[in-house]
Amino acid sequence: MKKLGFGCMRLPTVDGDNSKIDLPRFKQMVDLFQSRGFSYYDTAYVYHGGKSEEALREALVKRYPRDAFTVTTKMPMFRVENKEDLPRIFDEQLQRLGVDFIDYYWLHALKMTEYEKAQRLGAFEFISKKKAEGKIKHIGFSFHDSPEVLERILNEHPETEYVQLQINYIDWESPNVRGRECYEIATRHNKPVIVMEPVKGGALANLPQNAAEILRAADPVPSQASWAVRYAASLGNVFTVLSGMSSLEQVDDNTAYMCDFKPLDDGERQVIHRVEEAVKNYTAAPCTACRYCVDGCPKKIDIPDYLTMYNELKRMAKRDNSKKYYHEIYAGNGGKPGDCVACGKCEGVCPQHLAIRGYLKELAGVYEKH
């Protein structure tokens, strides 16, 4: 299998509605991905408001033989409330995807609270049972917590076959994500790593000008995203790297340089190190726009969009542009930062462990003064 997977969390949409996937465009993207010898697709129960799995059925499963693709999806432990939810959600996923079995199945976004819930409700036993029944080929989990928690999970559940980790050159030594430490623990436990967020929600494909110039000076041809994906794919224990692609152009770019993948050489690693230092100085709120925070917000605040604007304010010092962007968002149907009731639900599910309430309060203070 080639070392690039198609992440189905940021698919093309219609009229900016995250739950309305542009199926004709998605089919084109799948066709190009398949035609270049790639076959690994990653989706989840909650992606695109629950529509990603259905879209994958229409664009891929109905149009290609079952042995021509690998499909992965996840049990949303942050949505599971009781033991009965496990078989209900799993059966619904099989129906949404239109498959008889799932190649790779995860417990989704484990951190300590979700891990303790998984233990209490027997979630690991459930997926092991489904594997024994032939409904799942491989079992594992995706992870968003400290290396210490990862060590505990792998010690207590050696039956898991792989781990999905957030790895990119910004988060490798990040005190929030601690990517290197988590990767080393998984490697020590002989668990292959599947990489999520190699481009950090698109941030490493749209670098600040000074960082982008470092890459252009080293080689003007490759895309910014290609440097980030190759960085993650160059790690020896990485099984595949997911890229959440939103356009045909992104599929074309990613598959072009990953068809005949070449790991980074020493000189390229030095270039990445210089870019890393440059980017760190311009990042205020390292949001990846995964949107886990949006669904549970009682005020329907589009948090990722506001954090994008927060970064614009803090990193770029473009207050006028940020104010214009703020009013464009506020003109939509969702709430504004000043509506935040500080319930903390967003921070409880944020994989980046961001202090979201503080960011929203600061934005409200700047832009909602009368």
**Higher pLDDT, residue 305 or 313:** 305
Give yes or no for a contact between 240 and 3, defined as CB atoms under 8 angstroms apart: yes
Phi, psi of 345 (to 5 degrees): -60, -40
Give yes or no for a contact between 44 and 68, defined as CB atoms under 8 angstroms apart: no
* pLDDT bucket at 87, cuts 50 / 70 / 90: very high
* pLDDT bucket at 208, cuts 50 / 70 / 90: confident
Q: Locate 206 and state its tokens.
A: 């749209």
- Per-domain residue ranges of the chain: 4-280, 292-367
* pLDDT bucket at 296, cuts 50 / 70 / 90: confident
Give yes or no for a contact between 108 and 77, defined as CB atoms under 8 angstroms apart: yes
Give yes or no for a contact between 62 and 26, defined as CB atoms under 8 angstroms apart: no
Q: Locate 69 and state its tokens.
A: 């693709």
Whole-model pTM?
0.82
Long-range contacts of 53-57 (CB under 8 A, 24+ apart): 53/93, 53/96, 53/97, 54/96, 54/97, 55/8, 55/11, 55/21, 55/23, 55/26, 56/8, 56/97, 57/96, 57/97, 57/98, 57/99
**Higher pLDDT, residue 365 or 180:** 180
Number of Cα atoms under 13 Å in the Cβ half of residue 118: 27
Instruction: Assess if CATH 3.20.20.100 describes domain 4-280.
Output: yes
- The predicted structure's pLDDT at residue 281: 66
Residue type present at position 300: K
Task: Give the rounded distance of the alpha carbon of 306 from its chain centre.
Answer: 19
* pLDDT bucket at 370, cuts 50 / 70 / 90: very low
High-pLDDT (> 90) share of the chain, %: 71
- Residues with Cβ within 8 Å of 156's Cβ and at least 6 positions away in sequence, in order, are none
- 3 state DSSP class of 132: helix
Task: Give the rounded distance of the alpha carbon of 337 from its chain centre.
Answer: 24
The helix-helix angle for 319-330 and 356-367 (nearest 10°) equals 100
Direct distance between the N- and C-terminal alpha carbons of the chain, in angstroms, rounded to an integer: 58
Residue type present at position 125: E
Please determine, for residue 326, whether its predicted confidence score (pLDDT) is greater than 90: no
- The predicted structure's pLDDT at residue 201: 84
Residue type present at position 369: K
Please determine, for residue 101, whether its predicted confidence score (pLDDT) is greater than 80: yes
- Rounded Cα gap, residues 321 and 330, in angstroms: 14
- Sequence length of the chain is 370
- The predicted structure's pLDDT at residue 332: 62
- Rounded Cα gap, residues 192 and 259, in angstroms: 21
- Residues with Cβ within 8 Å of 146's Cβ and at least 6 positions away in sequence, in order, are 178
Q: Over the stretch 231-288, which tens digit does the pLDDT of each residue have?
A: 999 999 999 999 999 999 999 999 999 999 999 999 999 999 999 988 876 666 778 7
Residue type present at position 179: G
- Rounded Cα gap, residues 299 and 87, in angstroms: 31
- Rounded Cα gap, residues 262 and 234, in angstroms: 8
Q: What are residue 242's DSSP bridge partners?
A: 5
